[in-house]
Amino acid sequence: MKVWFSIFLPLFFFSASVYAERAMPPELLLPLDVTKNSAKQAIKFSWQKATNAVPAKVYAYRLLISETSRFNGYSASASSCNTSCIFAEVDSATFNYSTDLRLSNKVYYWKVQAVGAENGLWSTTRTIQTKKDIVIPTISTVSALPNPVIQNNALTFSTTLSNELPKDFSVKLDYGNGLVAMSGSGKNYSVSKSLSKQGVQTFSVGIYDSKNTLQGKTASGQFEVIAPPPPDNTAPILKKLSAANSSVLGENYEIQLEVSDVDNNLSSVLIDWGDGSSNPQPVSNGYASFSLSHSYDTAGTFTWSAVASDKKDAQSEMLTQKVTISKAVAKMPSISAISATPASVVTGNSLTFSATLSAKLPSGYSVKVDYGNGLIALSGSGTRYSVSKTPIKLGQQLFSIGIYDSKSVLQSNSAMTGNFEITNAAPVNVAPALSFISGNSSATTNAAYSVQLQATDADNNLSLIFMDWGDGTSESKNATSGATVSFSHNYATANSFSWNATAYDSLDATSLTVSKTVTVSKPADVTVTKTTGYSKIANNGSTLADSAKLGANSTDWACTQDNNTGLIWEVKTDDGGLRDLTKTYSNYTPDYPKCNDGAGWCGSYSSKYGDSTNTDGFVSAVNSQSLCAKNDWRLPTKDELLSIVKSSSTPMIDMTYFPNTQSTWFWSSSPYADSSDYAWSVNFLSGYSVVNYKSNGNYVRLVRG
């Protein structure tokens, strides 16, 4: 057969009685449509010769094979192809193509044209499908267990492949008796044989095709067959008590065995799990039942085997069982909530689609939104996912969010639907911003509870702040940008309430809501009003019964009122906090020292007030916490300190109302007239007052009133 690749055909001339006629299209015979051939396999193409009503001389046939149905890459004028097609001219109606086709798992298109004085029409187009390349695995491990094995006892040959075995291929063993097929699936294969030939022997494992041709290289190993133990030694007996036929990948698979030996010379039990790992278990005389467990890290079917040995190498009969290991089924969460934020957005601005799941998303699944532009994946982790997009279609629209697998198949009824709106751009009005300034998390019934808020508005058209107290009542107050607005409310019942505040501008644009939960409790059952002696004051400023205890809650005792002078005193704590009884302070204040002499010596003292180590810093810290609902606490004078001295006790103070008092010096605010370096202090051990150098560390008890 003669083949031309892009040939030049000479012109022929005929007499008037014989004329050229275009040949009919050849009828294609082989290969048939969707015939599957290996990309590396020779292909025979054949067709019927072109026929005519009036004979036309056909000199050759043009065969064109292409990767595309339009035969791209073929140049008719040049009679040539690029790499994506194949062009040949032959002088018969067959063509054997022995060169590899370029791609596997690919549909190729082919057609034929008769060549003559006038070229014929192209035939119809047929296809040929090349097969997907077969990946032949390699052998990763081989083993023969138990090793050594007693003559005529079963020996299990096992192997692990690098990847799953393709269809029509097999794993075979050669241990000197010819090729023996091994059973298994996936990457794990094994076979058990009883051997009679003693000594160290070699075995090999290889992969073979359907024609028993070795693929790649074999892997080899050795085993030893030993003589049976002397007749006077009885082999142990191994029994299976329980073992499941299946388990889940990554979970413990457990078997329970029982072993006994009438000779009382048990040694060990060896179990081969069938996946390349083994587990020797020492056993001793009197050993009855025991359990062994194993975690398979590959799904598939495995055959485990177990054999017991005694101290004279006598072995029990081998126990074997197949176990199927399956992948764990992922528990699919549901979608708990979805949102589009903001729900209404001006065209050109983005909105965020969000979803909350009932549980963590398993591997291989994704959360996707469809708002009219096809499925779009949300990003996130755990149970929260979101994505920001800028829809351009105006009007009210629907969106849905669902959980999809790797093939974009919706999982059961996981989708939820919501809506959003895209509006035309309106005159820009900036919404106000609302900030929380102050307000406690606790209150008492029928006592004033205060909140301070501040609103700002870039448009300077702030209107009001609306407050919903959460108990069915509300109020609003006019507001100006940057000004602090105070709200006060009396809760009538004890409960937990959440108040919400929103700022409005004159165009009804609103701020984000500011909210806080307030725990409202009843005041102490007994409120005692006394005009003499002392009264206990709560953290919220209310008067308590004498039985009240110190604490940090709003209705716990924190201060003591002197009913004779009207002064309210700080009560020290022993909790290690700001007002702990163990803390001492130097007596530096902003007016000390007064450096007006130009000497320069006082420069080192200029920064010794206002921090946590001196009286001025302590006063500021206590006032910032609004002790007993007040922030006008100060250092007492010498005479105010002496007014609570009680000479009949040690220390000289009423410890019922002033617990945690140290029997030593407490600072006063009274200066020493002769030197600004000193100030008066009072000692509650002696009841006397004396001057102390201001840099000394003394105790402090604050007062107000």
Task: Encode pLDDT of 280-331 as tens digits.
Answer: 888 877 666 888 899 998 889 999 999 989 888 889 899 999 999 988 776 7
- Phi, psi angle pair for 602, to nearest 5°: -85, 0
Q: Please indicate, yes or no, if residue 526 is contained in any of the structural domains.
A: no
CA distances from 601 to 127, 527, 595, 596, 616 (A): 104, 55, 8, 11, 22
Q: Given the structure tokens 């996936």, which residue do they identify?
A: 186
State how far the Cα of 79 lies from the Cα of 92, in Å rounded to an integer: 18
**Secondary structure percentages of the chain, helix, strand, coil, to 5:** 5, 45, 50
Closest CA to 251 of 156, 323, 358: 323
Cis, peptide link before residue 146, omega less than 30° from 0 = yes
Torsion 573-579-582-587 (CA) sign? negative
Residue 14 pLDDT: 35
> What six digits make up the tokens of 307?
């054999």
Residue 233 pLDDT: 84
What is the three-class DSSP state of 605? helix
Torsion 611-615-620-625 (CA) sign? positive
**57 DSSP assignment:** -
Residues 110 and 146 in one domain: no
Q: Please indicate, yes or no, if residue 151 is contained in any of the structural domains.
A: yes
Q: What is the CA radius of gyration of the chain?
A: 48
The answer to whether 234 and 263 have CB atoms below 8 angstroms apart is: yes
Residues 18 and 144 in one domain: no
State how far the Cα of 371 lies from the Cα of 416, in Å rounded to an integer: 12
Q: What is the CATH number of the domain that holds 192?
A: 2.60.40.10
What is the three-class DSSP state of 606? coil
Q: Which of 83, 111, 130 is the last residue of a domain?
A: 130
Residues 110 and 20 in one domain: yes
Residue 53 pLDDT: 42
Q: Please indicate, yes or no, if residue 527 is contained in any of the structural domains.
A: no
State how far the Cα of 546 lies from the Cα of 542, in Å rounded to an integer: 13
First to last CA, the chain: 122
State how far the Cα of 138 lies from the Cα of 96, in Å rounded to an integer: 34
The answer to whether 333 and 355 have CB atoms below 8 angstroms apart is: no
The answer to whether 537 and 625 have CB atoms below 8 angstroms apart is: no
Q: Please indicate, yes or no, if residue 348 is contained in any of the structural domains.
A: yes
Q: Please indicate, yes or no, if residue 109 is contained in any of the structural domains.
A: yes
| Strand-pair partners of 484 | 454
Residue 55 pLDDT: 56
Residues 54 and 122 in one domain: yes
> What six digits make up the tokens of 446?
């029928």
User: CB atoms < 10 A from the CB of 459, how many?
Assistant: 15
State how far the Cα of 99 lies from the Cα of 178, in Å rounded to an integer: 37
Residues 30 and 93 in one domain: yes
Residues 579 and 680 in one domain: yes
| Strand-pair partners of 501 | 467, 514
Q: Which of 260, 294, 326 is the last residue of a domain?
A: 326
Phi and psi based region of residue 640 (left: phi greater than 0; alpha: psi -120 to 50; beta: remaining): alpha
The answer to whether 450 and 444 have CB atoms below 8 angstroms apart is: no
Residue 609 pLDDT: 62
Contacts of 540 (CB under 8 A, 6+ apart): 440, 442, 443, 444, 447, 554, 555, 628, 629
Count of residues in the chain: 705
For the chain, the domain total comes to 6
Residues 88 and 212 in one domain: no
Q: Please indicate, yes or no, if residue 627 is contained in any of the structural domains.
A: yes
Residues 50 and 182 in one domain: no
Beta strands 80-81; 379-381: pairing state: unpaired
Residues 539 and 656 in one domain: yes
State how far the Cα of 501 lies from the Cα of 139, in Å rounded to an integer: 72
User: CB atoms < 10 A from the CB of 439, how many?
Assistant: 18
Q: Which residue type sits at 574?
A: D
Q: Please indicate, yes or no, if residue 696 is contained in any of the structural domains.
A: yes
CA distances from 649 to 644, 657, 684 (A): 12, 13, 10
Q: Provide long-range contacts, Cβ within 8 A and 24+ apart, for 541-544.
A: 541/447, 541/628, 541/629, 541/630, 542/444, 542/447
Domain residues for the domain of 252 are: 237-326
Residues 495 and 567 in one domain: no
Q: Please indicate, yes or no, if residue 528 is contained in any of the structural domains.
A: no
Residue 599 pLDDT: 45
The full DSSP string for 196-249 is ---EEEEEEEEEE-TT--EEEEEEEEEEEEEPPPPTTSPPPEEEEEEE-SEEET
Mean predicted lDDT score pLDDT of the chain:
86
Q: Which of 107, 130, 153 is the last residue of a domain?
A: 130
The answer to whether 270 and 263 have CB atoms below 8 angstroms apart is: no
Contacts of 493 (CB under 8 A, 6+ apart): 445, 471, 520
Contacts of 15 (CB under 8 A, 6+ apart): none
What is the three-class DSSP state of 325? strand
How much is the pTM? 0.31
| b/e sequence 557-581, b meaning 16+ C-beta within 10 Å | bbbbbbeeeebbbbbbbeeeeebeb
The full DSSP string for 382-411 is TTEEEEEE-----EEEEEEEEEE-TT--B-
Closest CA to 180 of 146, 200, 157, 211: 157
Residues 121 and 146 in one domain: no
Residues 204 and 346 in one domain: no
State how far the Cα of 602 lies from the Cα of 608, in Å rounded to an integer: 11
- Identify the segments of the chain with pLDDT beneath 50: 1-19, 53-54, 525-528, 594-603, 606
Residue 627 pLDDT: 95
The answer to whether 313 and 150 have CB atoms below 8 angstroms apart is: yes
User: CB atoms < 10 A from the CB of 292, how many?
Assistant: 17
State how far the Cα of 543 lies from the Cα of 538, in Å rounded to an integer: 6
CA distances from 480 to 51, 55, 434, 501 (A): 99, 104, 12, 15
Residue 287 pLDDT: 62
Run of H or E residues at 615:
helix 615-624
Phi and psi based region of residue 191 (left: phi greater than 0; alpha: psi -120 to 50; beta: remaining): beta
- Phi, psi angle pair for 620, to nearest 5°: -65, -40
